Chains A and B, each alone.
Chain A
Amino acid sequence: MKEVYIIGNGVAGSTLALNLSSSDNYRVHLISDESDFFYSRTALMYLYMGHLTPEQTEPYERDRWEKSSIQRIRGRVIALKREEKTLSYTDQDGKAHNASYDILVIATGSLPRFLDWPNRSLKGISGFYHLNDLKHITSYTNASICKEAVIVGGGLIGVELAEMVHSRGIDTTLVIREPYFWSSVLPDSDAQLVQRHIESHGVHLRTEAEVSAFLSDDGTKLSGVQLQSGEQLKAQFAGVCIGVTPNTGFLAESGLTLNEGIVVNKYLQTNDPSIYAIGDCAELSQHQSDRRAIEAVWYVAREMAETLSKHLLEGNTAYKQSHWFNSAKFFDLEYQTYGQVSSSAKRKNSELQFHWHTQKQHKGITLSYSAHDRKFLGVNTFGIRLKQEVFEQWLNASEIIDTVVAQLDLAHFDPEFSKTYYNDFRYAFVSNHS
């Protein structure tokens, strides 16, 4: 029986732990500094907005953990001795413990990224990733002390946090470095559509804007945010959502190869054969040209955990980046993407895009395809649900754009009786792009 220690009980660590716990070959220990039970990080916003209770955000019943053979440890790993295959951690009372492992899996996720802004440690400033961040945000945005908020960062976490604080009646401004919301990822047409939706909810936007300093009246609490343009925004809360960095600080002395994240091979193995890394903290040494070495999203973390489970249970299973997909919800606007749709800034001439939206911009679709052979490359949808399975097939078969447009209803996934737009869409495409 091998001792497996997993550091981090997010989706990567917990999925792996549950998968391995059914095997007689492994005794699984799951260490978390954050929570007693695995909860869904993506549900933190619903916790804040009062849609869900803490227990409802836990993907598995507590009973399941208690009945499993997994040893759950509440503690923080402080040191790793690879030569002896031991790690030490402190429990919640600060007491130190040592443990020896046969296999160690690091799934410690990310930390919110901060820049070196003046006054960045004032009370009232928080990132948004960890359960503790949510506690801080909740206390900082108490209606009695917070009337205005500034969210820094025009990405998925930024808009979530803007929706959250806005739901408490706080006057919210989103500060975005790019010309449009998330236009580092979305084509400008799509970014503008989302931006319009965000503004329609009453959130203010400052685009092509960057923070130069945080301001305080009394030297301890935040009172405003200074932009590089010189504008000062009043704020009692500032959320910093400009991205995340892998949470690997405790490994500095470990001798593991670290770049931005923990460098792993295709088996998700580090330079130490008995140590693996999965999820946000793992950096692939080799990756597809159209994908990134670190992809800090839920789906990738889960997929890595499934792959490593299979590798440890059945042997010889490499992690393969499947077709990219992702989804999000911007206030009431759902977004799904399959395959590759480049942002306007990164788009090359070899990639053509066709964007369509309804007059009120409540629904939109963007398709991208290659200019020389009309091969379908990817899709973004807004306010329209489409079936992943169908797009996987089209991408695998290198289907041409004209077929995808003609057969788009095959991917229909909106609820029954929903108004469909396939004909409008097709008509627009045929008039412009065929």
Chain B
Amino acid sequence: MLSYQTTASQKGFMYTGLFGIAVLISAGISNTLGTSPRVLAAIALGLVSVGVLGYTYSSYASFGPGIKNNGVVFRSLTQRGVWAYTSAVGLTAFYVLLYFFESQLEGIIRGFDPLSVALSGKPASQWFVYGVLYTLAILLFGIKFIAKYRHSRYQVIRTISVMFFQLIFAFLLPELMARLNGDLPYYDFKNMWPLNYYLFDQYAVDGFISAKSLGIGLLIFGIVSILIISPILTYKFGKRWYCSWVCGCGGLAETAGDAFRHLSDNSVRAWRLERWMIHSILVLITLSTVGVVHSYLGEGAGQYWLSADLFLGLFSLFVLLLVMLLYFKRREWLAKDAKRSVLIVGAFIVGLSGIHFLSDNYHVFLIPTYTLRSAYGFFIGSIFSGVIGTGFYPLLGNRVWCRFGCPMAAVLGIQQKLFSKFQISTNSGQCISCGNCSAYCEMGIDVRSYAQKQQPIKRASCVGCGICSEVCPRGVLRLENTANPNQLL
């Protein structure tokens, strides 16, 4: 069993990692120190790696396989103590610099030039640095996660999957593709719209088109991903196929954020807030994307094979079909959710007519399209997903963005709720209401409230991480793909 207090060797490795971060910061001001940023960056990453891996070894090596949550609620870092606030401030500061003051990071960025040149042939940008750090975090903390949950093959395989997708699909492939074809915009195969909200922006679409067949192929793949691939996979496996097996945001949350999963708010109030926020953001990004595409199609009429009016017509038809499907096929059992759905759909339709009748090419709802779009990029894309989503891990839990903000999770959640075979089954009357499942649910689902009533858990937000099933001391919960999906269509 893990001792409930932080041991000296755990502390030692934590300080090693922190020292690594300090070295990285010093790279930013290295011109005053006269040391090469490359050397400092290499030393920094080495120290951070030693810190995380050493901490993992000293925490788990001497204990057998099994749940290792001793002392979680006693530690400053994991129970909103001084260390938690310090880390949150540090992480937040990093995101603020990254998004808004990248010139301050110049020294650090130069330290990553050799790696960037080796991969893409270009010098590093702040996004390259971010990508390296992000990928490294998923790999290092992924190893920690695997060591911690090594008794469970589901956890081990799932974590190898997120590590693989981050390293290959999010990090290496786009860099190598940029090397092969300079016109191609950065493209992460697994990052689909609406998470990747700029996928259909004019510059991106123009980039795809000018990259010829490969680019067009990728553009089509982007559309097929969200409209065809995602519903099929969600039908079979639930949204977990994406959120806790593939997604980069989910990957970071599951690995680097694992120590903070118990901080997610379980209350009914938080659930209510979650449903309003995530669906509003989905409506917002859909409207603004449609507005942006509509405006550049209208502006550059003849330049694209799709006209603005046809695009809008197709989109309205699609929404109308969805509404009808929902209304005629799901009316009975969606009763309690009906109000919300109707509201969302209503918002869509008002939005559509707004675009069509109240606007010229540059306005949605009389609000300039590009203002709406850049506001979304700023408040949702940067502040929410980065600063709050990751920076506040130690205070609000590791899935704040996924739960309250991610429009992709909203789409997959609706799919999961409407027509998925995925559910968490409960083992009859075995629940002892201890509360481990609810406490360690990173999405703040009150799992216990279902388990103690012997009901299966079918929640839109469940990302299928499977930790509730791991921490259950009585073997009550099982993730399954065997639910009756109420017959698709």
**What residues of chain A have their CB less than 8 Å away from a CB belonging to chain B?**
11, 40, 42-43, 46, 49-53, 56-61, 63, 143, 163, 166-169, 200-201, 298-299, 302-303, 325, 327-329, 331-332, 334, 336, 385, 387-389, 392, 413-419
Contact = CB atoms under 8 A, between A and B. Distances in A.
Nearest to A326: B430
B6 to A, nearest CB: 12
B452 A334 contact: no
Nearest to A51: B69
Interface stretch (B116-124, B150-158, B388-396, B411-419): B150-158
A46 B436 contact: yes
29 contacts: A11-B433, A40-B432, A42-B432, A43-B433, A49-B70, A50-B69, A50-B70, A51-B70, A51-B72, A52-B435, A53-B439, A59-B433, A59-B452, A61-B266, A168-B3, A299-B432, A302-B429, A303-B429, A325-B430, A336-B430, A388-B429, A413-B427, A414-B478, A415-B153, A415-B154, A415-B466, A415-B470, A418-B152, A418-B154
B31 interface: no
A167 to B, nearest CB: 5
Given A327-B474, A329-B474, A334-B473, A168 B4 contact: yes
Interface stretch (B41-49, B60-68, B95-103, B219-227): B60-68
Interface in B1-25: 1-5
B70 A385 contact: no
B469 A415 contact: yes
B313 interface: no
A328 B446 CA distance: 22
B427 A49 contact: no
B435 A57 contact: yes
A169 B153 contact: no
A417 B69 contact: no
A57 B473 CA distance: 14
Contacts of A388: 427-430
Find the residue from A59, A143, A329, A419 having the highest chain B CB count within 10 A. A59
B39 interface: no
A392 B153 contact: no
A270 to B, nearest CB: 26
B174 to A, nearest CB: 30
Contacts of A418: 152-154
B439 A51 contact: yes
B479 A416 contact: yes
Contacts of B66: 331-332
Contacts of B430: 299, 325, 327, 336, 388
B114 interface: no
Nearest to A412: B478
Contacts of A56: 262, 266, 435, 438-439
A49 B478 contact: no
Given A56-B262, A59-B435, 6 more contacts: A49-B69, A59-B448, A169-B3, A329-B474, A388-B430, A415-B478
A330 to B, nearest CB: 10
A57 B157 CA distance: 31
Contacts, number: 141
B473 A50 contact: no
Given A167-B2, A299-B429, A331-B1, A417 B154 contact: yes
A40 B435 contact: yes
B435 A415 contact: no
B428 A389 contact: yes
A310 to B, nearest CB: 15
A416 B428 CA distance: 19
B1 A166 contact: yes
B96 to A, nearest CB: 31
A50 B71 contact: yes
A323 to B, nearest CB: 11
B301 interface: no
Given A42-B432, A415-B466, A63 B2 contact: no
B69 A419 contact: no
Contact of A53 (B73, B153, B480): B73
B74 interface: yes
Find the residue from B75, B157, B427 having the highest chain A CB count within 10 A. B427
Interface size of B as a range: 35 or more
A61 B452 CA distance: 14
Nearest to B152: A415
Nearest to A418: B153
A53 B449 CA distance: 17
A201 B4 contact: no
Contact of A201 (B1, B73, B435): B1
Interface string B163-187: 0000000000000000000000000
A381 to B, nearest CB: 9
User: Considering the complex of A and B, which 5 residue pairs feature the smallest CB-CB distances, nearest first?
Assistant: A332-B66, A385-B475, A388-B428, A43-B434, A59-B433
A200 B475 CA distance: 22
Nearest to B79: A53
Contacts of B69: 46, 49-51
B446 to A, nearest CB: 8
Contacts of B67: 332
Contacts of A43: 432-436
Contact of A167 (B65, B70, B153, B427): B70
A385 B435 contact: no
A332 B470 CA distance: 11
B267 interface: yes
Contact of B436 (A51, A298, A415): A51
B434 to A, nearest CB: 4
A63 B271 CA distance: 14
A385 to B, nearest CB: 4
Given A50-B73, A50-B74, A327-B475, A57 B434 contact: yes
A56 B262 CA distance: 10
A388 B431 CA distance: 12
B367 interface: no
Contacts of B479: 415-416
Contacts of A57: 434-435
Contacts of B72: 50-51
A169 B433 CA distance: 28
A53 B71 CA distance: 11
Nearest to B151: A332
Given A51-B70, A53-B73, A415-B478, A201 B448 contact: no
B366 interface: no
A385 B427 contact: yes
B268 interface: yes
Find the residue from B65, B433, B436, B439 having the highest chain A CB count within 10 A. B433
A336 B428 CA distance: 12
Find the residue from B69, B70, B267 having the highest chain A CB count within 10 A. B70
Contacts of B154: 415-418
Nearest to A40: B433
Contacts of A302: 429
Contact of A52 (B73, B429, B475): B73
B452 A167 contact: no
A413 B478 contact: yes
A165 B229 CA distance: 51
A398 to B, nearest CB: 20
A411 to B, nearest CB: 10
A252 B439 CA distance: 41
A391 to B, nearest CB: 9
A298 B427 CA distance: 16
